[in-house]
Structure 1
Amino acid sequence: MDYVTLETDEFVYGVGDEILPGVSRVIAENPSKFTYRGTGTYIIGGGQDVAVIDPGPILPSHREALAGALTGRTVRAILVTHCHADHSPLAAWLRDETGAPTYAYGPHGAATVEWDIGALPDDFGRPEPTDVADDEPTGPDEPKLEESTDTAFVPDVEVRSGDVVFTDTAISVAALHTPGHTSNHSCFAMTSSAGGRILFTGDHVMGWSTTVVAPPDGDMGAYMNSLRMVAGRRDDVAVPTHGSPIERPGRFVGDLVDHRLERERQVLDAVRRGLDTIPDIVEDLYVDVRVELHRPAGSSVLGHLVKLVSDGIVVVDGSSAADSASDASPASVPRLDSNYLPV
C-alpha cells in the first residue's frame, strides 16, 4: 500500500484552509494514535450557503475555530458520516447555532452477535505506562480504533444512497451508504458544475492507514462490498476525515481491497496452523506492531473471523455455525469466549 500522509507542516490547527475548490478544512486539535493528526471538519460550498461534514468532537478550541471559519456563511446542512465520538458530537451545537438539520444514515446500529463473547484478557495489549504517550500518532500499518461512540446522535434526516443532501449554484452532494466500519457509515459524493467529483469518505477510506472493522456493529463482509463499490466509482479525489486527500482513489481503494484479502488469508492460515485464540493470532500477525495496538488489532482479527465463519470457511467449536458450514472440512477455532473485546 502507498499510504498518503499528512505532515504537521502542511496545516495549522484552528484555521480554515481551502484544500480544494469549494472545500475548506478545519482540523481539530485531537491528534492521537486513533485520530492521526486530528479530526478534519469540511466546509463545502462555493458561495454563502454551505454544508458542514463531520463537525467533530466536543472540544472548545475546535468549536471556536469552526465558528470562525463559518463567519459570514450560512450553514444549510450538517452531514455526519457516522457517530464515533470524534465525528458527530459537535453536530448538536452546530444545529442549535445555525438551525441547519443533520443528515446521516441513522444512529449507531443496535448490533447483535451470534456467539457468547467476553473480553480479552486484561493485560493483553496493555503497554507499560512509560512505553508510549497516549497522544502519539502511529504508523500507517498499525490498526486504529475509535475510543468511544456518540450513542446520543440521532439525525434529523435519515438518508439512503442517492439522496441529495445539499445543493447550491455550483455543486450537488448526495449520500452513499458504505456500511462496514459501522453499520450507519455513509460517504458523501460531491459533483461540481465544472465536472469535478469528490468523495468524502469519513473513516471508510483513510489514506494514512487501514480502518478497523470491529464487531458487533462493524461487518467485514459489508465493508469489503462497500470498498469494492467505491473502487468502481469514477471520483477524481477522495477526502477522508483523517488525513490528506487521496488522488486516483479508484486505484487506491482497489489496493485496499487486495490488502484486506491478504489479511484474511493470513488469519485463515494462522487458524490452520493451530493458532486458536485471537490473542495468539494477533501476536503472530502483528509482531511488528506496538503492543498498545494489539487490542484494536484483535478487533480486526475478530472481524475477519466472523466473515470467514459467515463464508463457511471457519467454524466456531460448539456453535450452530459448524452445522451450516458449506466446506466439509472447514478450519476451526474455539468459541470466542475470553477472546473478544467490547467496542
Structure 2
Amino acid sequence: MDEPAAPGEQATPFTRLLLAPNAGPMTLGGTNSYVLRAPGASSVVIVDPGPDDHGHLSRLASAGRVELVLVTHHHADHVEGLDAFHRMTDAPVRAIDPVHCFAAEPLTDSELVVAAGLEIHVLATPGHTADSACFVLAGDGDFGSVLTGDTILGAGTTIIADPDGSLGPYLHSLGRLRALGAPGPTTVLPGHGPVLPDLTAVCDAYLTHRAERLEQVRGALRQLGDDASTEAVTDVVYFDTDASVRSAAEASVRAQLRYLRGIA
C-alpha cells in the first residue's frame, strides 16, 4: 500500500501531527512529529522527526519536499531519527544547540524563519532543557499556534531535566509563553499528548502547579532539615510516583532545591 500523500492528523490549518510509535512512561502516547505547510506551498517543514523508526520517518518524508527540519530540544525521543531522516531528505536541520542535534546552523531567540510558505517565530524557552525552543505560527487559525516540544505537554506537566534544565529559566519561559495568549486562545501543539486549545490557560495551570510543588518542597525541608538530600525530599513530595518515573521526579526535585537555595 502506498504511503499517504499528506500523512498524519490535521491539527491546525498549517500543521499535521504524526504520532511516533514510541509510547512509554516518559513519552506518553509517543512523540508528536509535526508537518508544517502553508496552503498551496510546495514544500514542508518537519518539527522533531522523533525516534529512529523507518516507518515513521518514511511517512514524514512522504509529506512533500522537506525544506527544513526544526528541533525543539535534544532529547533522544525527539531527535534520534535525525541522521536517518537527513539521509532520506537532505534537508537542513536547525536547533538552538547544534552540537546535540545534527544541525548546521543554530537558531536564535526571536528569529523569524521563513519556509514552506510560513513565517515561523523562534522563542527560546530554556527550562526543561537548556536548549528548548518553541515555534510560533501567528497566522495559524484565529489566534495562532505554538509548537512547545516538552516545555508544555498535552497531558500532565513536564520535568525540569536537572542539571541541563533549570527552574528559574523555566518559570521565565512560561511567562513569555503566557504573553503570547492575548488577545485570544492560542493553540498548543505539544511534543507529547493531545493538542490543547488555550495557551494562556495551560501556562496558568503550569505556573500554579510549580508554585504548589515549591511549597511542598519547602514543607519537606521544614520536616527533614534544610540540608535534606534529593532522595529524601523526593520520598516526601513524590511519595506516590511510579518507580518508572522516579528518576524524573528526582531531577525535578534537584532543580527545585537548586532554585530555593539560590543556585539556579
- The residue number in structure 1 matching 2:104 is 156
Higher helix share: 2
The answer (yes or no) to whether the contact 1:76–1:166 under 8 Å persists in 2 is: no
Cα offset, 1:63, TM superposition: 1.9
Equivalent residue, structure 2, for 1:277: 229
Structure 1: stretches of 5+ with no match in the other structure: 1-14, 109-150, 313-343
Task: Determine the C-alpha separation between the residues in 1 that align with 2:241 and 2:81.
Answer: 32
Q: Report how far residue 167 of structure 1 moved.
A: 3.5
| 2:251 maps to 1:299 | yes
Give the equivalent residue in structure 1 for 2:3: none
- Is residue 2:46 matched to residue 1:52? yes
- Does the 8 Å CA contact 1:107/1:184 hold for their aligned counterparts? no
For the aligned residue pairs, the C-alpha RMSD in angstroms reads 1.9
1:194-273 matched pairs, under 5 angstroms: 196-234=143-181, 236-273=186-223
Sequence identity (%) = 28
1:74/1:67 CA distance change after superposition, 3 Å:
closer
Q: Give the aligned residue type for 1:155.
A: A
Structure 1 residue 77 corresponds to structure 2 residue 71: no
SS at match of 1:273: helix
| Deviation readout 1:54-93 (Å, 9 max, x if unpaired) | 011112221233233x2xx211110000110011122223
Alpha-carbon distance between aligned partners in 2 of 1:79 and 1:209, rounded to the nearest angstrom: 24
Q: TM (normalized to structure 2)?
A: 0.88
Shift of 1:168: 4.3
- Partner of residue 114 from structure 2, selected from 140, 161, 166: 166
Kindly name which structure, 1 or 2, has the bigger radius of gyration based on alpha carbons.
1
- Give the counterpart letter for 2:258 in structure 1: V
Scaled by the length of structure 1, the TM-score of the pair is 0.69
Alpha-carbon distance, 1:193 to partner: 7.3
* Cα 1:308–1:107 shift into 2, 3 Å: farther
How many Å apart are 1:311 and its aligned residue?
A: 6.6
**Farther-moved stretch of structure 1 (283-292 vs 265-274):** 283-292
Alignment size in residue pairs: 251
Secondary structure, aligned partner of 1:281: helix
Shift, 1:44, TM fit: 0.6
Look up the match of 1:101.
Answer: 92
Measured in 1, the distance between the counterparts of 2:141 and 2:174 equals: 27
User: Greater relative contact order: 1 or 2 (C-alpha under 8 angstroms, separation 6 or more)?
Assistant: 1
2:82 counterpart (58, 75, 91): 91
Deviation (angstroms), 1:252: 1.3
Structure 2 unaligned regions, length at least 5: 1-6
- Of 15, 29, 32 in structure 2, the residue corresponding to residue 37 of structure 1 is 29
- Cα distance in 2, alignment partners of residues 99 and 311 from structure 1: 42
Q: Which structure 2 residues correspond to residues 59-70 of structure 1 after superposition, within 5 A?
A: 59-68=53-62, 70=63
